[in-house]
Structure 1
Amino acid sequence: MADRGNPFGEMDNPFQDPAVVEHRPGNQFATLDVYNPFDNQGIPPPYHEPSAFQAPATLPTATAQPAAPAVRKISPTEPKNYGSYGTQETAAAATADLLKHQEELNRKAEELDRRERELQNAALGGSAGRQNNWPPLPSFCPVQPCFYQDISVDISQDFQKTVKIMYYVWLVSAGTLLLNFLGCLAWFISDGSQGTGFGISILWIILFTPCSFVCWYRPLYKVFKTDSSFNFFVFFFIFFVQDILYVLDAIGIPGWGISGWIAAFTALKNNVAVGVLMIIVAVLLTGTATLGIIMLKRVHSIYRRTGASFQKAQQEFAAGVFSNETVRNATTQAAAGAAQNAFKPQ
């Protein structure tokens, strides 16, 4: 009678199935009982088949090799070298680039601080804080400076170079007119019939030197100081007309009081020294005209990048006219006179 405590008493042992017994590992297979992974003796686990290869007792060595250097272990906190990005040259270049940017930022910050202090002093001190400093005349001169000019304070750094170049253009044009006056004077001394040209050369230097500063340089200065669209158009119109005059002056039409090319070669026939002086003036006039064309295009490209427009220029003009006290008083008086005439009995 089968044991009632074992429900599998009457059944065959399932682990004695021939299919299972056939694939049961034998002595030639490695078992977990044989291999101890925590054994520090470094004995590898047995293979399922014994290796037929037997290592020789001693291996022949051709030559004695030097011992390999010991490999330095890298600590966990030590940065690893992953290639060219971790080399010292790359790190030095990156550091130099960062220092360069830092110096530039510091310079800009200092400039902004200085400009802010200048503007605060001007706001607190009124006219005493921003006294006129141009033209730079000595204190004993009866004529005092008429304008205040400080490009490093009033003009942003992006446009300081352009304003400085235009200021140098004005200086060169003023010096050229002065030299033209001397050339016409020398021509008048060598040829008494050139008195008309000499007189006009005086008019050129007296009229065009201050007018060019007031009519096109100061508007350009105000353009980059206050971002004025109206002054943009004033500069374009007046400087374009003056540049055309410089081109005509470089040609040198006789009788115009200008030592251009035609007048210089005419004077060269009579007096070599006077002709050479006038040729120098013609070269300066040509260079001034060429530089004027280049700078006109440059300022126009800046105008296209900014938000200036003709509509803004009209608004600024209207605001400037109505904010002028003289214009307001004249308009009020005119309106009052018209109202009185309208209600006056006939």
Structure 2
Amino acid sequence: MSGYDNNPFAEPTSDNPFNDPSVTQATSSNIEPVEQYNPFPAQSEGLATQTTPASTSPFQPAVLQPSTEPSPRAVAAVAQADLQRQQEELERKAAELDRREQDLQSRGLTGKENNWPPLPKSFPIKPCFYQNFSEEIPQESRRVCKMMYYLWMFNCVTLFLNLLACLAVFTIDGGYGIDFGLSILWLILFTPCSFLCWYRPIYKAFKTDSSFSFFFFFFVFFVQVGFFIIQSVGIPHWGNSGWITAINIIRGNVPVGAIMIIVAILFTICAVTSVFLLKMVHSMYRRTGASFQKAQQEFSQGVLSNKTFQTAAAGAATSAAQGAFQANN
């Protein structure tokens, strides 16, 4: 019954497992708990001493770096250096222009060295003309100008072969002596005259875009085309180994007739090529904006600026004035 006298709400001492002496000794020991154990005590203390304390204010004011603007003296030095560089560049260009001007003046005094015809330096006759397609002729008309030059050379070769053909005919028939003589005349006459009268004018026309040179070329080259046609036809006793003469000769002598037919073919090629080139030059001439009025103006300016013409005109005017003065006295 004594057990029933105890307080039922008091903790039972005998039933509490934590009241065991062994458990109480383990829980009251000096061993540090796992949560408080620090494996790096020294490092933590060092880091703690080096940690910068946080600022008490939540916001930091923006700090602008001071701008380093150049001083007026530095700006002046840079401007002076730039002006000095520009001045040196201008002086260099001026020196280059002076050198070119001196070269042009020296060329004007001495003139360009003639290179045509290409003769040896030891030859007693020197070149008479200067010719350079890449330097003097524009790119768009260079091809046509070269073709005109090749036509002139082809015509010269044909005239020489015509002389040989007429000589062959003269050896088999003495009645063709007049043809041989005229073939020599055509070779001597047409070779330089064709060069001076229609090749050099078209060369100058392409070089200087001269309307007068174009008109002069057209006038002379029309005549040259007529001669090419006559030479290819081969009128008997005109000194040309054309088709008519070649057909007449081949009936009696085949080898000589064959030579004359070859020459007739060459004359025909000259005639066809000349017509073709004439059309090409005319189409290029129409694109240059040349006109007859411009040609007249160039001719008048060229005549009036000619020193020989000026001297002759001054002499005629002086003689007329003296004659009128003596008549009045």
Q: Classify the TM-score, shorter chain.
A: 0.5 to 0.7
Out of 305, 308, 316, the position equivalent to 1:326 is: 308
Q: Name the residue aligned to 1:313.
A: 295
Q: Name the residue aligned to 1:147.
A: 129
Q: Which runs of 4+ in 1 moved over 6 A?
A: 117-120
Q: Name the residue aligned to 1:286.
A: 268
Tell me, what secondary structure is at the counterpart of 1:131?
coil
**Percent identity of the aligned residues?**
56
Out of 223, 246, 249, the position equivalent to 2:205 is: 223
Query: Is the helix fraction higher in 1 or 2?
Result: 2
**CA distance in 1 between partners of 2:228 and 2:155 (Å):** 9
Tell me, what secondary structure is at the counterpart of 1:142?
coil
**CA distance in 1 between partners of 2:194 and 2:240 (Å):** 17
**CA distance in 2 between partners of 1:171 and 1:122 (Å):** 32
Q: Name the residue aligned to 2:320.
A: 338
Out of 238, 243, 249, the position equivalent to 2:225 is: 243
Q: CA deviation at 1:129?
A: 5.8
Q: CA deviation at 1:123?
A: 4.5
* Corresponding letter in the other structure for 2:126: Q
Contact 1:174 1:205 in 2 (8 A): yes
**CA distance in 1 between partners of 2:216 and 2:207 (Å):** 15
Q: CA deviation at 1:310?
A: 0.5
With over 3 angstroms needed to count, the CA separation of the structure-2 counterparts of 1:319 and 1:210, relative to structure 1, is same
Q: Name the residue aligned to 1:61.
A: none
Q: CA deviation at 1:343?
A: 1.7
Q: Name the residue aligned to 1:179.
A: 161
Contact 1:122 1:130 in 2 (8 A): no
Question: RCO (CA 8 Å, sep 6+): is it higher in 1 or 2?
Answer: 2
Q: CA deviation at 1:127?
A: 5.6
Q: CA deviation at 1:345?
A: 3.0
Scaled by the length of structure 2, what TM-score is found?
Answer: 0.67
Contact 1:133 1:148 in 2 (8 A): yes
Scaled by the length of structure 1, what TM-score is found?
Answer: 0.64
Q: Name the residue aligned to 2:170.
A: 188
* Corresponding letter in the other structure for 1:230: F
Q: Name the residue aligned to 1:263.
A: 245
Tell me, what secondary structure is at the counterpart of 2:159?
helix
Tell me, what secondary structure is at the counterpart of 1:270?
coil
Q: Name the residue aligned to 2:78.
A: none
Aligned length: 230
User: Are 1:126 and 2:105 an aligned pair?
Assistant: no
Contact 1:230 1:314 in 2 (8 A): yes
* Corresponding letter in the other structure for 1:305: R
Q: What are the ranges of 5 or more consecutive residues in structure 2 without an aligned counterpart?
A: 1-98
**CA distance in 2 between partners of 1:120 and 1:225 (Å):** 23
Q: Name the residue aligned to 1:209.
A: 191
**CA distance in 1 between partners of 2:295 and 2:100 (Å):** 28
Q: CA deviation at 1:285?
A: 0.3
Q: CA deviation at 1:139?
A: 1.3
**CA distance in 2 between partners of 1:121 and 1:269 (Å):** 65
**CA distance in 2 between partners of 1:192 and 1:301 (Å):** 48
Q: CA deviation at 1:126?
A: 3.0
**Structure ID, larger Rg:** 2
